[in-house]
Amino acid sequence: MIWAVVPWLAMIGSLYFFLLIFAMNAAEIVRQAIASLVPTFQEIDQQTKENLRQVLHAFQKYRVGVHHFSSVSGYGHGDLGRDTLDQVYAEVMGAEAALVRVQFVSGTHAIAAALYGVLRPGDEMLAVAGAPYDTLEEVIGLREAGQGSLAEFGVRYRQLELTPTGEIDWDALKATIRPETRLALIQRSCGYSWRKSLSTADIQRIVDIVKAQNPNTICFVDNCYGEFIETQEPTAVGADLMAGSLIKNPGGTIVTGGGYLAGKAELVEQAACRLTAPGIGSHGGPTYDQNRLLYQGLFLAPQMVAEAMKCTHLVATVFAELGYEVQPKPLERRQDVIQAIKLGSPEKLQAFCRAWQKFSPIGSYLDPVPAPMPGYESELVMAGGTFIDGSTSELSADGPLREPYLVFCQGGTHYTHAAIALEAVLETFATL
């Protein structure tokens, strides 16, 4: 326990004095936390081996070679590397088909393509895990009218609220699917909410409950931040379709942009037709000489996700010991690469992000300040000194400038980077 550094400190019970007196010993605080996490880190490494084995199997099955690194120009017809990558992704994800494209500008774009691709006027979409991520609100039509939202195309929206403890309302879910409920939206990650992220077992349970009421309801998973967290993906346990971002987990920190879809072949193709056009679908779209990075990123992804998970454990352990509420808790099994901390004040949120930014490789001299962000309702404070702009597989942190002033930490190519940044945060907090 970190309190063991000086036992009488626990009696004082003042975080302020703890940090003030021990600011110069921040490295020792973090070192003790790392030592306590060795067994957890070993378990993560074992899982990494299994995930890497699956990726290697897919590369072997489709005989990936250097000729797949070439790409074509123009329409992108006959891009062998791109088409083979789709097959590799489908194999890794346990899906019938996949669509991996640099034309997706974000995970939200991939999700929107899926929603617009499979939903029709008069259909209903049900969000089963409470309010969706902020960036989907305008896609759905919950705010900012006049942009061609789903609501403006006659798609109705409903959401199943979480329980007071932030859990899926399983009892309500068993009686909520209607004949017109065409799609159940399952957001795997917590997003900017204070709840547990969903495991693949949770997702499988949701799918089973939904399908028992209406077998024709599409179970669609926003899988952002969730890839390679476990040894199975949602499409391997019954989800019909899922989407994610290539500047998050599956890009392995080196893919420069894009997104993916995976699931039933018919649904993937419908979404592809929304990305391109009916009649073109998945057959078009040049990869702009990015194929090697796309393959290499997928190969690196299990390792990079493992390091990001270690970072979340380290952050949670240090801050929980200092008396902060954290989600998920130390040693709790991870379901994504996000670690939330309830800081309680705008000053601490900005100070945290400032320290995180200072120990980033890119833009360490910048001072994060609250600012509006396209797709978000609240101003955000963001620390993102990453090589890939917006990458959350690299060490980053952000949070909305609103109560209760949560900071969300993501990524990290090695847990030692998080350790260095944590030391800076502790020293900064000592001066507040």
- Residue 14's identity, in one-letter code, is S
Cα–Cα dist 125/122, whole Å? 10
25 φ/ψ angles, rounded to the nearest 5 degrees = -110, 20
Encode 44-73 in three state secondary structure. Answer: HHHHHHHHHHHHHHHHHHCCCCHHHHCCCC
Using a cut of 0.85, tell me whether the model's pTM lies above it.
yes
Q: Which residues contact 374 (CB under 8 A, 6 or more apart)?
A: none
The answer to whether residues 257 and 278 touch, using CB atoms and an 8 Å cutoff, is no
Nearest in space to 115 (alpha carbons), one of 68, 197, 107, 86: 107
The answer to whether residues 92 and 55 touch, using CB atoms and an 8 Å cutoff, is yes
Q: Within a 13 Å sphere around the CA of 44, how many CA atoms are in the beta-carbon half?
A: 29
pLDDT per residue as tens, the chain (432 positions): 444 444 444 334 345 435 443 544 899 999 999 999 999 999 999 999 999 999 999 999 999 999 999 989 999 999 999 999 999 999 999 999 999 999 999 999 999 999 999 999 999 999 999 999 888 999 999 988 889 999 999 999 999 999 999 999 999 999 999 999 999 999 999 988 899 999 999 999 999 999 999 999 999 999 999 999 999 999 999 999 999 999 999 999 999 999 999 999 999 999 999 999 999 999 999 999 999 999 999 999 999 999 999 999 999 999 999 999 999 999 999 999 999 999 999 999 999 999 999 999 999 999 999 999 877 778 999 999 999 999 999 999 999 999 999 999 999 999 999 999 999 999 999 888
Domains annotated for the chain, with CATH where assigned, are 2-48+302-429 (3.90.1150.60), 62-299 (3.40.640.10)
Q: Which residues contact 280 (CB under 8 A, 6 or more apart)?
A: 273
Cα–Cα dist 432/428, whole Å? 7
Residue 211: how many other CB atoms lie within 10 Å: 16
Cα–Cα dist 422/389, whole Å? 22
The DSSP code for 371 is B
Element housing 311 (H / E): helix 291-321
DSSP secondary structure, 275-303, as one string? HS-TTTGGG----TT-HHHHHHHHHHHHH
Nearest in space to 349 (alpha carbons), one of 321, 327, 382: 382
